[in-house]
């Protein structure tokens, strides 16, 4: 069950509503952007530190999402590269930074903007045995599914970071991945993704 986020401060950022993936912190994602308000949001992002909020839509078919159409936990991301494509579509390479809480989503200005608050996941808990167990299970899963496992996993001591790396590679439904993104307790998140791999 998702832990209530501890909000630290609120700010407004350009936003990209996404339909077909759930982003996890520190992973890199290519996005194909075609909606006019999203392209305008990218223009805003290039005017301020190239940062955007990646917002997951609850229903892919909603063309003009509002706050009730998106999940409240998303990520703040940086724009690494942007390439215009034929037909007005733009390919954007993003790197997710950290979880944030989305308080409002609005597009009245012609661009999607999100009012966000930072989330604190608290201090890194000691979970050495859980990490060892989960990494070993994921490596077996990765080998069986021909997935290249990150070499960083053997060096990490942060259960939340380990969980996020595993979440980016495991084949789960969007709803399951969003639930994991919204699970703010790092130990609970690692236990959940480990159980999902086992099942």
Q: Where do the domains of the chain lie?
A: 7-119, 128-198
Mean per-residue pLDDT for 74-91?
A: 93
Contacts (Cβ under 8 Å, ≥6 apart) of 20: 60, 174
pLDDT score, position 48: 76
Going by C-alpha positions, the residue among 100, 121, 108 that lies closest to residue 53 is 100
Q: Distance between CA 153 and CA 140 in Å, rounded? A: 13
pLDDT score, position 122: 84
Mean per-residue pLDDT for 33-59?
A: 91
Contacts (Cβ under 8 Å, ≥6 apart) of 65: 17, 55, 57, 105
Right CATH for 7-119 from 3.30.465.10, 3.40.50.720, 2.30.130.40, 3.30.2320.80: 2.30.130.40
pTM value surpassing 0.95: no
Going by C-alpha positions, the residue among 65, 49, 62 that lies closest to residue 12 is 49
Q: Distance between CA 180 and CA 185 in Å, rounded? A: 10
pLDDT per residue over 158-189, tens digit each?
999 999 999 999 999 999 999 999 999 999 99
- Per-residue pLDDT for 3 more than 90? no
């Amino acid at each position: 069950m998702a832990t209530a986020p501890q909000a630290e401060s609120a700010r407004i950022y350009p936003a990209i509503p996404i339909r077909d993936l759930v982003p996890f912190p520190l992973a890199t994602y290519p996005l194909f952007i075609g909606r006019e308000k999203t392209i305008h949001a990218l223009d805003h992002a290039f005017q301020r530190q190239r940062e955007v909020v990646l917002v997951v839509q609850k229903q892919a078919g909603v063309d003009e999402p509002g706050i009730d159409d998106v999940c409240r936990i998303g990520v703040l991301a940086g724009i690494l590269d942007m390439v215009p494509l034929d037909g007005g579509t733009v390919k954007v390479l993003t790197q997710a930074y950290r979880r944030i809480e989305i308080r409002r989503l609005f597009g009245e200005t012609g661009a999607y903007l999100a009012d966000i608050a930072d989330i604190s996941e608290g201090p890194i808990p000691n979970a050495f045995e859980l990490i060892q167990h989960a990494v070993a299970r994921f490596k077996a899963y990765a080998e069986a599914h021909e997935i290249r496992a990150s070499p960083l996993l053997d060096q990490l001591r942060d259960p939340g970071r380990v969980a996020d790396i595993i979440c980016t590679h495991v084949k789960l439904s969007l709803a399951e991945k969003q639930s994991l993104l919204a699970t703010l307790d790092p130990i609970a998140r690692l236990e959940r993704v480990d159980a999902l791999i086992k099942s």
